[in-house]
A and B are shown apart, each in its own frame.
Chain A
Amino acid sequence: IAGITQAPTSQILAAGRRMTLRCTQDMRHNAMYWYRQDLGLGLRLIHYSNTAGTTGKGEVPDGYSVSRANTDDFPLTLASAVPSQTSVYFCASRDTSKTGELFFGEGSRLTVL
């Protein structure tokens, strides 16, 4: 089934540990995004990528890094996790040439203790 796959779906992590959230899409969308969703704050953009090989910072990029080596994959890395990074993380993609809708993955719930 075409779409976006995120992994893991849920993870508990000790503070200070490194963690990579994986995101893969098979729709050949050029643009990909990482959002975090927190109660009362809505969806906030962490990083984005307009096309393979390029990335950009969103609203809340500190403590996170991304890479876009190819069209399909857009991993999000927390180099040294902190409790304030406890959140639900959504990966999304869209085909900007069609001004189309944003497709979301199912989310990754991360708890940093």
Chain B
Amino acid sequence: EDKVVQSPLSLVVHEGDTVTLNCSYEVTNFRSLLWYKQEKKAPTFLFMLTSSGIEKKSGRLSSILDKKELFSILNITATQTGDSAIYLCAVTSGAGSYQLTFGKGTKLSVIP
């Protein structure tokens, strides 16, 4: 059974701090790993990672994948209150890339 584990489950930081969110996985026939941000409603896409060691970056957010150790990290630098959200990690697997397995998410709260 495919498994995705995120840590920590929740985190409270002050504005300006840097945070690192973790996602480890055990899946059969790994295809890609995706990060999403969920505020009030639907999750919104952040990154998709398929290759080890290649950092994806968007503003203050960055992510990297380690396919040997089976994990990914999402970094947020100089956090702002608008970064408060649930961050979801998902892994696609299987021959047809049809199946996605989500972790339980990390709830990040950024306080002024």
Contact = CB atoms under 8 A, between A and B. Distances in A.
Interface of A: 31, 33, 35, 40-45, 48, 50, 90, 96, 99-107
Nearest to B100: A102
Interface of B: 31-32, 34, 36, 41-45, 48, 50, 88, 90, 92, 96-105
Contacts, number: 53
Contact of B42 (A40, A42, A48, A106): A106
Given A101-B48, A102-B34, A41 B41 contact: no
A36 B41 CA distance: 13
Contacts of A96: 96-98
Given A50-B98, A99-B32, A41 B104 contact: yes
A33 B92 CA distance: 13
Contact of A104 (B43, B101, B104, B105): B43
Nearest to A90: B42
Contact of A102 (B31, B41, B45): B45
B45 A42 contact: no
Given A99-B50, A102-B90, A104-B42, A42 B105 contact: yes
Nearest to B103: A42
A104 B34 CA distance: 13
Contacts of A104: 42-44
B42 A105 contact: yes
What are the 4 tightest A-B residue pairs by CB atom distance, in nearest-first order? A42-B104, A104-B42, A43-B102, A101-B45
Contact of B104 (A31, A40, A99, A103): A40
